[in-house]
Amino acid sequence: MESRKWVIRVARLIAFVAVIAISVFVFSIRDRAEEFAVYGYPGIFLISLLSYATVLLPAPGIAIVFAMGSVFNPLGVALAAGSGAALGESIGYLAGFSGQGIVERSDISDKLFAWMERNGPLTIFIMSAVPNPFFDMAGVAAGALKMPYLRFLFWCWLGEVVKMSFFAFTGATSINRIFGT
């Protein structure tokens, strides 16, 4: 039993170090992310993955989805961007898995943890479908509360695809109306 606790501690430490390293890397290349858009849907997937693989650090993403919705099929853009975003949000989940102690307790985080305990999948879906600054905390809460990873990933993916669909289709119709194409 003691060796199992040691393995969990090491896994949490590795996850925590990975979260920090990935966040710093993505933040350092944020200005070059648009260059990946020339690669079509895989580029959109990669931009979204990198944009959402930071914890509490801003990175581009939605603006590129908005613009690419007018260049490519908006549904394809939404699926590529939503899939990349969901995988990127796994970093927040890993941060939570690495240890609940990294979350500064506040009224908002306490409410979010309570919502996650009562209805985790719905909370993840809604929080990922609506643009908001609190989703990183929702991912952290899911990891800290040990929501099964594939359940987290599915509901996050579903919400991200809904959100990215809105931006891709809005971009397609807005830009087409402005430029008459």
> In whole angstroms, what is the distance from residue 150 CA to residue 141 CA?
15
- Cβ(142)–Cβ(175) below 8 Å: no
> In whole angstroms, what is the distance from residue 56 CA to residue 164 CA?
19
* pLDDT tens-place string over residues 2-59: 777 777 667 666 765 665 565 555 445 445 545 656 678 998 898 888 888 776 555 5
- Give the closest residue to 172 by CA, choosing from 62, 61, 44, 69: 69
**Structure-derived torsion over alpha carbons of residues 143, 149, 153, 156, reported in degrees to the nearest 10:** -30
Q: Residue 1: what pLDDT?
A: 61
Determine the average pLDDT of the residues in 101-128: 81
Determine the average pLDDT of the residues in 141-166: 94
Determine the average pLDDT of the residues in 76-105: 83
**Per-domain residue ranges for the chain?**
2-179
> In whole angstroms, what is the distance from residue 58 CA to residue 105 CA?
22
